[in-house]
Structure 1
Amino acid sequence: PYEQTWRYPAVTVIAQEASTIKGASNQVLPKASAIVSCRIVPDQDPGEVLEQLQALLTREPPWDVQVTVRPHGPAVKWWMTDPNGPAFEAALAALQAGFGRPPVPIGCGGTIGFVGPLSELLGGAPALLLGIEDPKSNAHAPNESLHEGDFRKLMASLAHLFEKLGNLGERDVSTP
């Protein structure tokens, strides 16, 4: 189940619009819209995913409904890095110091659009994505939350991380 949330491709309706509550009635509406998000994972081509989704949504719609697909900006290519090296070792040690137990690296966040370009802009500096959550945090849901205790432990972990990164040489921080 966790892999479905973190690693596998997904299509999610993130917004929809049909009619307002005020003045609504029991009738067929002339128009509806939705914003759909696709998680692009390693080995997927964003252009191909868009073509496949467009073909699926426009193939044989019921009752002669007209379906139009308009990309909402450029597709974000997946990104992945090698999670080894001194910076990642420093992050794991810092999280263990802050939380009092070993962290569980899961390898997600690869379609956060700015991460890859930012890493490249910074000369290949490793991107340490520290998504702190537990099952009750409901990540990315309307009722998403972060337990105050986890937030405090994260702040302690970051203090440890900055100290550890500060003790590394410039060559040691770059991606292996």
Structure 2
Amino acid sequence: MAGVASHSMGRDSESGLITGERLLDDVDRMIADAVRFGRPLSVAVAGLSAEGGPPDAADILRVAGLIQSGVRTCDLAGRLDDGMFLLALSGTPARAAVTPLTRLQQEVAELAPATSGGLRVAVGVAALSGLMSMEELVVRAIGLSDQAQQRGPGMMCLDPEPAR
């Protein structure tokens, strides 16, 4: 899948986050479980940006640490690419994902004095709908993250959960 970092061990050596095929396989398993047990699942893609250019490696690692410390044991956090993170939130409809993701955005904004420039996170959240494939769900979340980034620093776009 284009844009996904490829790491042979399945874990980023710097941030400790899951990457590459292992990340995508784990998301695929979470989708299967959500469908099997009728539970909601949201996938969020958080794109990091800095004032005056791309975030530097130290900024990326700081944000990776915030993400790792903020996920529940039933959730999945991974790194898609430099400055792009994926979170799969088990049992969480898209609207309920807003609270922890807004908290992440606030924590990143508070890092500003310790970073190379004002950091912001644009987030796209896609809710599992029917029998979506892993690729469909991740690509939808990436597209929503791109839309949020275009709207401005620190924005969030949701793909609302379908009515039942």
Instruction: Return the TM-score normalized by structure 1.
Output: 0.27
Q: More helix by proportion, 1 or 2?
A: 2
Higher relative contact order (CA 8 A, sep 6+): 2
